[in-house]
A and B are shown apart, each in its own frame.
Chain A
Amino acid sequence: MGIACVAFIGPQNNPMYLRSIDPASDDLYMKLHYVIHCALDAVEEKVLLKRGPGDSQDAYLGLLYPTEDYKVYGYLTNTHVKVLLLLDDEGAVKDEAVMRVFRRLHGLYVDTASNPFHKFGLPLSSPRFDAAVDGVVSIYRGAGASQGGFMT
């Protein structure tokens, strides 16, 4: 799975964490910020749409929108934290596989937030979290990971 970028945005649309997997130039960061900004609008729309009776109220929001370079997927926690994944896969990506990444990232965030020295509302600054995100990304970068199955 070509994870290009992982982003966490807080309840007030405050930036919490932005990680470009490959080293990014200033230009690339600007592009990422722009994509994320649009993605947040898409998240709001999706959440409003999903409010119908009987609709499954999942954290996973699915594909928010494709841009020229990325497929942007979204996830919304009950504490209104938005997690975004920018994938640069050429081919099909299974929802299942993306969901799995989100769940792991969510778990990492919850544990980081459980650090007594964590400050809600401020950007995440945890070396442990950084390393763990790296770990998740590397697991899912394997061939076939986008399809939900894994190959070693």
Chain B
Amino acid sequence: MAGIPPAPSPGVVAKKPARRCAEVCLELLCAESVRLFHAKQSGPAAAAALEAVGYRVGQQLAERYTRDKPRLGDTLEIIKFVCKDFWQALFKKQVDNLKTNHRGVYVLQDNGFRWLQRLSPPAPGSDPGREEAARQLALSYLHLPCGIVRGALCHLGVICTVEADPKQMPSCTFTIRIMA
């Protein structure tokens, strides 16, 4: 028949293979964004800006990563999705440990948080000043990923706050507090 464009073959919609790039591009981009936002603004304002950057990315990744997934159910299921598939896609591994107090607080532990890998922890026995400086630096790098996690969760219907604690780098905990 003339005039009708050929139809796609029935079945799954063809998806192009995911585009790849070198990880170092993302690392340097994140490092630069930390520097950039802290250079022009006070600490809290810079933190808020970085969190906002992450939040938008989290919303967009929630759309992308849940596109082909069966419907996620309750809060726990959504958080488990974040700990497994989402963390894997974003940080190349799953969360190592998930704890909850069953009253709206979830603690995610990642023993080798990828986005802190480039920061070297202070040598054991360093003076408290050094340790604190290293901790502050790590915290500045964590606003963006916290924003991503919070953005994704909120976009999936779990309204919450996310706070990171770089206890012993590169190990890091993320505390999710569900807002009632």
Taking Cβ atoms with an 8 Å cutoff, the residues of A that contact B are 11, 50-51, 56-59, 76-80, 96, 100, 103-104, 106-107, 109-110, 113-114, 116, 118, 120, 138-140, 142, 145, 148-152
Contacts and interface: CB of A to CB of B under 8 A. Distances in A.
B62 A142 contact: no
B71 A148 contact: no
Contact of B10 (A77, A79, A150): A150
Nearest to B77: A57
Q: Is the interface of B mostly helix, strand, loop or mixed?
A: loop
B66 interface: yes
Interface in B148-172: 155-157
Interface in B1-43: 1, 4-10, 13, 15
A118 B10 CA distance: 31
Given A107-B13, A145-B7, 14 more contacts: A50-B71, A58-B71, A59-B71, A78-B66, A79-B63, A100-B13, A113-B59, A114-B60, A118-B60, A120-B59, A138-B5, A150-B10, A151-B7, A152-B5
Interface of B: 1, 4-10, 13, 15, 56, 59-60, 62-64, 66-67, 69-73, 155-157
Given A80-B157, A114-B60, A120-B155, A148 B67 contact: no
Contacts of A148: 10
A11 B157 contact: yes
A100 B5 contact: no
B89 to A, nearest CB: 14
A51 B74 CA distance: 10
Nearest to B64: A110
A113 B1 contact: no
B94 to A, nearest CB: 19
Q: Is the interface of A mostly helix, strand, loop or mixed?
A: loop
Contacts of B6: 152
B11 to A, nearest CB: 8
Contacts of A113: 59-60, 63
Given A79-B66, A113-B63, A104 B13 contact: yes
A103 B13 CA distance: 7
A100 B8 CA distance: 10
Contacts of A103: 13
B62 A79 contact: yes
Nearest to A109: B63
Nearest to B70: A57
20 contacts: A11-B157, A57-B73, A59-B71, A77-B63, A77-B66, A78-B67, A78-B156, A79-B62, A79-B157, A104-B13, A107-B13, A110-B63, A114-B60, A114-B64, A139-B7, A140-B7, A148-B10, A149-B10, A152-B1, A152-B7
Contact of A57 (B62, B63, B71): B71
